[in-house]
């Protein structure tokens, strides 16, 4: 199941925290009601689905390489994500993904510092463009994601962030 972006946007409420748990491969096992509402899908459409079901096509693969590297090493990962809901609308969230048993838990909230969110968005645009160019030149999606990861890390370093 894939969704097409409509250009519509919805916000996470200031006091909403939403979570999901997945198995070791990223298949959703549990989700709270706020996650169901933000994803604009019914619970049955989420449970048992891969978490990348809500991945917006503008999100660079490099972000997810960084995430899987961290959580695969049993370390937490925190980052901004731009998600695509089932109705085609989009929303930003600040996600923290941590190991939980044999799988993972992701807790998300509304990004409060819009300046940082906008900076991250600019970094993501540069990474996504590099990935698109790499694929156009015949690179695999995996190699393109590695290129996106390198762009993200380089751009963050220029801004003074270590990770």
Kindly give the parts of the chain with pLDDT less than 70.
1
Angle between helices 141-158 and 114-136 (to 10 degrees): 140
Superfamily of segment(s) 17-109: PAS domain (3.30.450.20)
- Short-list 41, 36, 9, 27, CA closest to 111: 9
Q: What is the predicted pLDDT for the residue at 3? A: 82
Q: What is the predicted pLDDT for the residue at 50? A: 96
- Short-list 9, 11, 5, CA closest to 94: 11
Neighbours of 23 (CB within 10 A): 14
- Short-list 27, 79, 25, 81, CA closest to 57: 81
Q: What is the predicted pLDDT for the residue at 145? A: 98
d(CA 88, CA 91): 10
Asked if 70 and 154 touch (Cβ cutoff 8 Å), the reply is no
Q: What is the predicted pLDDT for the residue at 48? A: 97
- 3-state class percentages of the chain: helix first, strand second, coil last, to nearest 5: 40, 25, 35
Q: Model's pTM, two decimal places? A: 0.91
Tally the C-alpha atoms within 13 A of residue 30's C-alpha that lie toward its C-beta.
10
Q: Is 33 exposed, middle or buried (0-12, 13-18, 19+ CB in 10 A)?
A: exposed
Residue pLDDT, tens place only, 112-150: 999 999 999 999 999 999 999 999 999 999 999 999 999
Q: What is the predicted pLDDT for the residue at 64? A: 97
């Amino acid at each position: 199941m894939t969704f097409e972006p409509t250009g519509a946007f919805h916000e996470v409420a200031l006091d909403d925290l939403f979570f999901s748990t997945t198995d070791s491969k990223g298949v959703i096992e549990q989700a709270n009601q706020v996650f169901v509402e933000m994803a604009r899908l019914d619970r049955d459409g989420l449970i048992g689905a891969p978490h990348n079901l809500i991945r917006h096509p503008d999100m660079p693969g490099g972000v997810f390489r960084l995430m899987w590297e961290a959580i695969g090493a049993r370390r937490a990962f925190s980052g901004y994500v731009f998600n695509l809901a089932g109705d085609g609308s989009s929303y930003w969230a600040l996600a923290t993904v941590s190991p939980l048993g044999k799988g993972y838990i992701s807790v998300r909230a509304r990004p409060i510092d819009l300046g940082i969110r906008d900076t991250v968005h600019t970094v993501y645009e540069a990474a996504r463009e590099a990935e698109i160019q790499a694929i156009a030149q015949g690179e695999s999606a995996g190699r393109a994601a590695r290129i996106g990861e390198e762009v993200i890390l380089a751009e963050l370093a220029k801004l003074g962030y270590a990770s």
